[in-house]
């Protein structure tokens, strides 16, 4: 039976943070003007200088060992439908073989990373992963 090299609760927390980061946009209006309370909402939805959320996620992913990073990419691919839970071991090997550059750059560069990781985790849990 396949097993995850990390706690699924930790991945669920990471997914929540990934979704929060991915919901933000780059700052595109330096001075929006208008109603001050409305401006605060827009500022919360835009990445600003000093916002460490993306950097913290990147560091967390890069601090994982190779097996954990491969498994994270494999979960993403399974959630995206590129692979099936039955192919877990082969998918992790493929993730290692195709690894180029930081895994965090790859994952954070995918628009729906949180959704696909959540779907992959759900599929693996239904499959009976430890």
pTM over 0.75: yes
Cα(59)–Cα(104) distance, integer angstroms: 8
Tens digit of each residue's pLDDT (9 = 90 or more) over 54-68: 889 999 999 999 999
Instruction: Write down the pLDDT at residue 34.
Output: 58
* Residue 107: strand pairing partners: none
Helix axes 113-127, 8-22, angle to 10 degrees: 160
pLDDT digits (tens, 9 = 90+) for 103-124: 999 999 998 999 999 999 999 9
The per-residue DSSP string of 16-77 comes to: HHHHHHHT-EE---S---S-HHHHHHHHHTEE-TT--HHHHHHHHHHTS-HHHHHHHHHHHH
Domain ranges in the chain are 8-127
Tens of pLDDT, residue by residue over 23-54, are 765 544 455 555 555 555 444 444 444 455 88
């Amino acid at each position: 039976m396949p097993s995850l090299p990390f706690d699924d609760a930790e991945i669920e927390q990471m997914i929540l943070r990934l979704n929060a980061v991915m919901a933000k946009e780059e700052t595109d209006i330096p001075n929006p003007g208008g109603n001050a309370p409305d401006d605060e909402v827009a500022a919360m939805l835009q990445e600003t200088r000093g916002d460490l959320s993306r950097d913290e996620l990147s560091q967390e992913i890069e601090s994982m060992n190779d097996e954990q990073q491969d498994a994270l990419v494999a979960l993403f691919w399974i959630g995206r439908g590129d692979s099936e839970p039955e192919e877990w071991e082969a998918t992790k090997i493929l993730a290692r073989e195709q690894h180029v550059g930081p895994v965090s750059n790859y994952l954070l560069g995918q628009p729906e990373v949180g959704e696909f990781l959540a779907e992959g985790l759900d599929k693996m849990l239904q499959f009976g992963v430890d």
